[in-house]
Amino acid sequence: MNQAVISCLHANLPAVEAVLKDIELQGITNITCLGDLVGYGPQPNEVIELIRDKEIPTCQGCWDEDVVDGLDACDCSYPSQLAEKRGHFAHQWTTDKLTTENKDYLANLPYSIRKDKCLFVHGSPNSQHEYLLPDMDAFAALERVENARAEILFCGHTHQPYIRELADGSIAVKIKNAVPKDTQEKEIQLPMRRIVNAGSVGEPRHGGTKATYVVYNDVTNEVKIREVEYDIELTCKAIIDAGLPPIFAWRLKNGFEFAEQAEDASHVCER
Amino acid sequence: MIERWALVSGLKGDLDTYELIQKDLKKTPGNITLFVLGDMIGPEKNCNRLLHRLINPKSNDLQPWCIYGWWEEQILLESGYRGDQRAEALRINKGEEVVKSLTNAVDKSFLDWIAALQFGFVELDCGLIHGSSKDVGENLTLDTPPLTLLDRLTRLQVNRLFTARSKQQFHLELTEGIVNSEVEDLNGNRKKEQKVPQKAVIGIGAGKNYTLYDVGTDNTQFVQAGYKTEKRIKGFGRL
């Protein structure tokens, strides 16, 4: 059966509506959301209420956590002080706009959702703030899936959709100073695992302007990345009207990167 | 001259053991650097004499290079050095009495020195820490999955990781690791074969059991203070 996985909606209502329409047109009713319903975008309450109304199972993203608990991401989450300032402004704006009911909803979202062999998280099984980038160290990536006792790990947070298969792995282990000799060495076969990043519905950072999500078939194990066009102008106008930083609209419209993300994929925020 | 590191942990206030180790090291050939990888303090005995000696070495002592360990983390938590957090894990697992014993075992005048200690050292391509690069309280042992060990090495970007938390002595090498990675994204597909250069995780022991590491040859010797140097017998499985 096909199921859709969406992530990083970022209060971009036109993008969310377009993606949900695309999912509906494919006849998919099983949807999982990987969080970051809010942040950057101008319609946080509307997006939360849409996801709530449709009863879409959702993990808590880093923005969802931060607007509830206060900023706890360290400076490493931002590539520059300017980006940090913009992020903090959007955080405060979002916190001020959200209704108490919607804050409670975000506060009670789970960190992860497990369905059979699949684990759904926002960033990584370690933290909502950890980036699993597509080309991060393969052994570290495999460790994230394996230690989470999953076969497929669905994540978001990077805003870059990808499917990564880690296969045919092995490690030889040797104990120095060991006797008897026959217990000194062994080779351990590593399991085949996959990481699927759903990209971002509301804040794409893949070089284009289209919203992305993924469709997973749990029978064939096939995963497809979907790109969806939406009315970007509508979102951009709402960003400007709301008084949010104009760069948020500019980068949506131009499909440019300027991502507020850490370069060190292995970093785990300790705050 | 041979360069050696002496790696010590888990003294927990035991000045006699520390003096025994210092005595041993004076007889050990080579240019020795002494690292104390945490747990200088503990709840069992008064730690002030040992702390004073570590901070103010005797003229013929090897200078100790110290980092903080799990017990130091507990006293810093309990003493308000970590914001609003307190040593709740210790309190729940060991009880209020142990929390009190710990705070009574260390004079408050030492807390600033403890708080200034680093999480670990990176020397050459080696990481020297108490637990792991993920957590000061993490036990790395022979039974830890190799993927986890590789991850802890990767986090510090080192090839050797010296750890003390498990109290065990072992030298585990990870060699010939390989994994094939295939990424599909909006730009297409790319494949990559990733290999692991030889890496190792070394458990240094605790208390009287410490480790000598020969920097030039990458050899370890597991030593018990007061006894002659010996190579320990270890195998897979629980110790």
Domain spans in chain A, listed from the N-terminal domain onward? 2-254
Q: Which of A139, A160, A168, A268 is the best residue to mutate to test the B interface, defined by the most B CB atoms within 10 Å of its own CB? A: A139
Using alpha carbons, select from A146, A203, A138 the residue that is nearest to residue A166: A138
CA neighbor of A10 nearest in space, from A238, A254, A220: A238
pLDDT computed for residue A77 by the predictor: 58
CB-CB neighbors (< 8 A) of A173 in chain B: 146, 172-175
For B180, name the nearest residue in chain A, comparing CA atoms only: A167
Nearest CA in chain B to A212: B186
**Model confidence at A74: pLDDT above 90:** no
pLDDT number for residue A268: 46
User: Is residue B233 included in any domain, yes or no?
Assistant: no
CA atoms of A151 and B178, how far apart (whole Å):
19
- pLDDT range class, residue A176, cuts 50, 70, 90: confident
Lowest pLDDT segment from A116-120, A177-181, B135-139: A177-181
pLDDT computed for residue B84 by the predictor:
84
The three-point CA angle B41-B45-B47 to 5° equals 45
Is pTM, for the whole model, over 0.90?
no
> How many angstroms separate the CA atoms of A164 and A75, rounded?
28
**Mean pLDDT of all residues in A146-150:** 93
- Whether residue B231 is contained in a domain is answered as no
In terms of pLDDT, which residue wins out, A66 or A97? A97
The pLDDT assigned to A267 comes to 46
**What is the C-alpha separation between A237 and A235, in angstroms, rounded?**
5
Nearest to A198, CA basis, from A75, A31, A54, A48: A31
SS3 B64: strand
Decide if B80 is inside a domain. yes
pLDDT, residue A262, reads: 44
Q: Which CATH architecture has domain A2-254?
A: 4-Layer Sandwich (3.60)
- Beta-strand runs (E) in A127-265: 152-155, 162-175, 185-190, 193-197, 211-217, 223-228
> Residues near A69 by Cβ (< 8 Å), separated by ≥ 6?
none
- State the pLDDT at residue B238: 37
Q: What is the pLDDT of residue B237?
A: 41
Q: pLDDT at residue A264 above 80?
A: no
Number of domains into which chain B is organized:
1
The percentage of residues in chain A with a pLDDT greater than 90, rounded to a whole number, is 68
In the predicted model, residues of chain B with pLDDT beneath 70 are 228-239
Compare B197 and A59 and report the one with higher pLDDT.
A59
CB A227 within 8 A of CB A210: yes
- How much is the pLDDT for A73? 52
Residue B216's domain spans which residues?
3-224
- Whether A182 shows a pLDDT value over 80: the answer reads no
Q: Which of A42, A173, A57, A174 is nearest to A111 (CA)?
A: A57
pLDDT at A265 > cutoff 50 = no
Indicate the Cα dihedral angle A11, A14, A18, A19, nearest 10°.
-10
Task: Find tokens 């959200």 and name the residue.
Answer: A98
Q: How far apart, in whole angstroms, are the C-alpha atoms of residue A246 and residue A238?
A: 10
Name the amino acid, one letter, at A130. E
Chain A residues in contact with B183 by the CB 8 A cut-off are 134-135, 162-164
The enclosing domain of B139 has a CATH number of 3.60.21.10
Chain B partners within 8 Å of A190 (Cβ) = 147, 179
Q: Please, are residues B86 and B78 in contact by the beta-carbon 8 Å criterion?
A: yes
pLDDT at A91: 87
- Give the tokens for residue B143: 């039974």
What's the gap in Å between the CA of A12 and the closest CA on chain B?
22
**DSSP H stretches of helix in B13-69:** 15-27, 48-55
Element (H, E) at B115: helix B111-115
Interface ipTM: 0.88
Q: Does residue B59 sit within a domain?
A: yes
Instruction: Give the closest of B148, B181, B200 to A166, CB-based.
Output: B181
Orientation angle between helical segments A81-97 and A62-69, nearest 10 degrees: 70
Residue A34, pLDDT > 90, answer yes
At residue A178 the predicted structure's pLDDT band, cuts being 50, 70 and 90, is low
